[in-house]
Amino acid sequence: MKEIYSPYAEKIKKQERKEGLTGKLLTMMLIGGLAIAAYSGLKQKPIEYSGEKSYTFEEGQGLSDATMTVERDVNKVPYQEVNKHIAEMPQNEKSLSDGIQAGETITVPESAERQ
């Protein structure tokens, strides 16, 4: 059977090809943008700690109580990272090695921030 040529049918086919290419291009751009955003999120700047202050434990307190005294933006500086930093500070090694006792004093940073 012979296909009948129609300018209208050709116009529709051309439009479909154009829309298909545009859709593919937009999808590729969206995926590329998401990949860049994910990579940027993984590449965070390090946390900067400034100043030092003493913290004396009272009965029933733990390292988390000392961590909560450090000034920080909770959306940028995770509690766990500050807690880990305090535990790893050389000046706290002796105090924290045998467990926390009431009346014991450790050193904590005054603030922690990520730019």
Q: 111 near 49, Cβ under 8 Å?
A: yes
Whether residue 82 sits in one domain with residue 38: no
Based on the fold, state whether residues 22 and 52 are members of the same structural domain: no
Residue 91 near residue 107, CB atoms below 8 Å: yes
pLDDT band at 24 (very low <50, low <70, confident <90, very high): confident
Q: Which residue blocks in the chain are alpha helix, DSSP H?
A: 7-42, 63-67, 79-88, 93-97
d(CA 112, CA 69): 11
Instruction: State the average pLDDT for the chain.
Output: 84
Task: Kindly state whether residues 35 and 75 are assigned to the same domain.
Answer: no
* pLDDT number for residue 32: 78
On the question of pLDDT at 91 being above 90, the answer is: yes
pLDDT band at 103 (very low <50, low <70, confident <90, very high): very high
CATH assignment at residue 66: 3.10.350
| Structural domain harbouring 38 | 1-43
**Residues 73 and 86 both lie in one domain:** yes
pLDDT at residue 65 in the model: 94
- Structural domain count, the chain: 2
pLDDT on residue 54: 95
